[in-house]
Chains A and B, each alone.
Chain A
């Protein structure tokens, strides 16, 4: 069995957004009990990560670490048509994931207790982000 659907999220600037609930709902709606869930983000300046879901400061620290690793407005960049965060957002995406695949067990995302699925917005402005979710199994 295969179920495929699109999800659309509005982000409010740079940071991580917990999308675990929406992905769980897609899996529940698919009627698939055991298999795999594949999540794909159709953008090159936002990405997907699995991350600790309990303490918000983990994700704030991750964002601060990334800001140090990939500096906005670095003189290295030529591609800055849309501002100092433009090229930095592309590099941040390359260093993280455009795809996540997660096992589905008994109709649910088989995540660890402290794992959450996050959309990571790398641009400083608000954006609309499209995801394609595919659930396969039986």
Chain B
């Protein structure tokens, strides 16, 4: 069986937004008991991440670390057009994932106790984001 849906996520602030509950809802609707779920985000300025849910600091500090790796004011960035940080946000996305997948067990994401699903917005002026969910299983 295959379930597929594309939803729109409202514009989010730069940084990590927990979308675990939204994904849990979609997985419930799919009525697939066991299988694999893939999430895919349709743009170059945000990424998907499975990260620690326990401490907000882990996400804030990861964002600061990525900003250090791909700073907005780097002189190697030639493209300064629509958004001042267009290139750094793309670099950060390239260092992370535009799609993630995880097992589905008993109609729920089989995540670890401290794992959550996040949309990681890298752009300074975020837009609405399209997210496609595909579940294959039985």
**Chain A residues engaging chain B, CB cutoff 8 angstroms:** 2, 4, 38, 40-45, 70, 76-79, 81, 87, 90-91, 94-95, 98-99, 101, 130, 132, 134, 136
Contact = CB atoms under 8 A, between A and B. Distances in A.
- Counting chain B CB atoms within 10 Å of each CB, which of A4, A45, A94, A132 scores highest? A94
A132 B110 contact: yes
Given A42-B111, A99-B100, A136 B52 contact: no
A132 B138 contact: no
A70 B40 CA distance: 27
Given A76-B64, A99-B102, 18 more contacts: A4-B34, A4-B103, A38-B103, A40-B101, A42-B110, A42-B115, A43-B115, A76-B61, A77-B57, A78-B57, A79-B57, A87-B57, A90-B52, A90-B62, A132-B103, A134-B34, A136-B35, A136-B36
Query: Lowest 10 CB-CB distances: which A-B pairs, in order?
Result: A42-B112, A79-B57, A44-B52, A78-B57, A132-B103, A90-B58, A134-B103, A79-B58, A98-B50, A38-B36
A74 B8 CA distance: 37
Contact of B61 (A4, A42, A43, A78): A78
B137 A76 contact: no
Contacts of B68: 76
A132 B62 contact: no
B61 A79 contact: yes
Nearest to B111: A42
B78 to A, nearest CB: 25
A125 to B, nearest CB: 16
A44 B103 contact: no
18 contacts: A2-B137, A2-B138, A4-B103, A40-B103, A42-B112, A43-B112, A76-B65, A78-B57, A78-B61, A90-B51, A90-B52, A90-B58, A91-B61, A91-B65, A98-B100, A130-B112, A132-B103, A134-B103
Contacts of B61: 76-79, 87, 90-91
Interface of A is mostly: mixed
Contacts of A90: 51-52, 58, 61-62
Contacts of A134: 34-36, 103
Given A44-B114, A87-B61, A94 B36 contact: no
A94 B92 CA distance: 11
Contacts of B28: none
Interface string B31-67: 0001110000000000001111001011011101100
